[in-house]
Amino acid sequence: MAKEMVTKESFGKLTEAEAMFLEQGYVHFGEHLPEKGDKDKIIRAEIIERALYGQIEGFAFRLDRLDIQGIKIEGNLVVFSLDMPAMVTLSYCVLLDGLQTPNCKFNDLLLINSRVGDFAGTSINVTGTLMLYGTTFSGNVSFTLLRAGTFVDDKNSWPEKGLLCLRGAIYERFAGNSPTTARERLDWLSRMPEFHPQPYRQLAKVFREAGQDQDARDVLYEMEWLRARDQKFKTAATVAHLRQGGDDALPEQLERYHGKTRRVSVLRLLRAQAFKNVLNYAFDCVIGYGYKLERAGMWIVGMIALLSVLSSIGYHTGYMAPNSAPILVSNDWKDSTDAKDWMDTSAGRDWETFFAPIYAADVILPLIDFGQESAWAPTTRGPLGYILWAIRWPLKLMGWIIVSLTVATMTGVVQRRHDM
């Protein structure tokens, strides 16, 4: 942007909109978009730029507001590092050549029911409200390093997939009729060209401060799921790169992989990624990366139900026995056909009664002793007995893993691990 002063006459013949703007500092042509071919409702971007920078002689434009309505701005409107303490309103305007306001400061920035091409709002600071209500963007929309108080938009103001940048953007709240559910806002974030965790953390923070805890957890879960997927894609791309070009084609960012060596083993990468895939799959399936604890409960209930059914069948078919050596060599036990028959003897009536669901819970849940596992055990007289004997160990292990992950999640360990 040139810094020399110019006169109004240097712009040549002015349109009706330009003359009105230079005379009073604002333009109102009604709450409707300008009709195509209506040249009186056109303002050249250069005129607005020079007016904002105070570079037009005889134009005493006051920065109390910038209000333009119902006009077409011809050319790419570019304003750098401008401190605009007033409200800036562009309503029912057409800016198909683009709008760029990097490093600008606004009290309020309102783009209402307008049509914009590219919008570069990199590093803008809006202390009040940033409103995009009813405005559509046909090009890239960048809010990189945005700082805003209140964010107001609607789904029509969201660009196509791959055209939105929100990396480093910080805002405090949504207002008006803005979409405010996790499902809607995740669709918004999905329009970024590549994954980055910061926009998801920021969205979750806004939800949490608004009391929408479940929405915050849903956003953070999606973040972790996308992080795992992104990690797999990057590893696959690295492996493909190494296979095609070898070490000589190694990109600079991978030169320090595994210490100071420059030689990266494809097999080593694949093994490391396979291990990460297993961990990510376990975290996802068991506790939803720490944000869906109901999955842990479903796993526990499912395992208890499975072992309960199998042990109940085993008890009624003679594959469960008292977990006591003296009883197993006693005459009462030898004379009984199975455990159920033995329970009718005097010794059996004094023994812990077998109850399949409690037995299953006793096997699977760690650190809890219901007395069933110490009183009863499967025999190995037949196939079902072998199954009952063998299945206890993986179920015990899974019980320990699930409970441990659940406790770690409830105490914040898992979330802190993923938020690092």
Give me the amino acid identity at 133. Answer: Y
Phi–psi pair at 105, nearest 5 degrees = -115, 130
- pLDDT tens string, the chain, 420 residues long: the values are 556 888 888 899 999 999 999 888 889 998 999 988 888 999 999 999 888 888 888 776 655 678 999 999 999 999 999 888 788 999 999 999 999 999 999 999 999 999 999 999 999 999 999 999 999 999 999 999 999 999 999 999 999 999 999 999 999 999 999 999 999 999 999 999 999 999 999 999 999 999 999 999 999 999 999 999 998 888 888 777 766 755 544 454 454 444 444 455 667 777 888 888 888 888 899 999 989 999 999 999 999 999 999 999 999 888 999 988 888 888 888 888 778 888 888 888 889 999 999 999 999 998 889 999 999 999 988 889 899 999 999 999 999 999 988 888 888 755 555 554
Write down the domain spans for the chain.
8-178, 226-288, 294-410
* 118 SS3 class: coil
**Which backbone phi and psi does 28 adopt, to 5 degrees?**
-130, 115
Select from 262, 197, 192 the least CA-distant residue to 415: 197
Whether the Cβ atoms of residue 304 and residue 391 lie closer than 8 Å to each other:
no
- State how far the Cα of 339 lies from the Cα of 23, in Å rounded to an integer: 101
The distance from CA 68 to its chain's CA centroid, rounded to whole angstroms, is 37
Report how far apart, in Å, the C-alpha atoms of 343 and of each of 223, 264, 310 are.
Answer: 55, 66, 20
CA gap 289, 280 in Å, rounded: 8
50, 56 contact by CB (below 8 A): yes
pLDDT digits (tens, 9 = 90+) for 16-59: 999 999 888 889 998 999 988 888 999 999 999 888 888 888 77
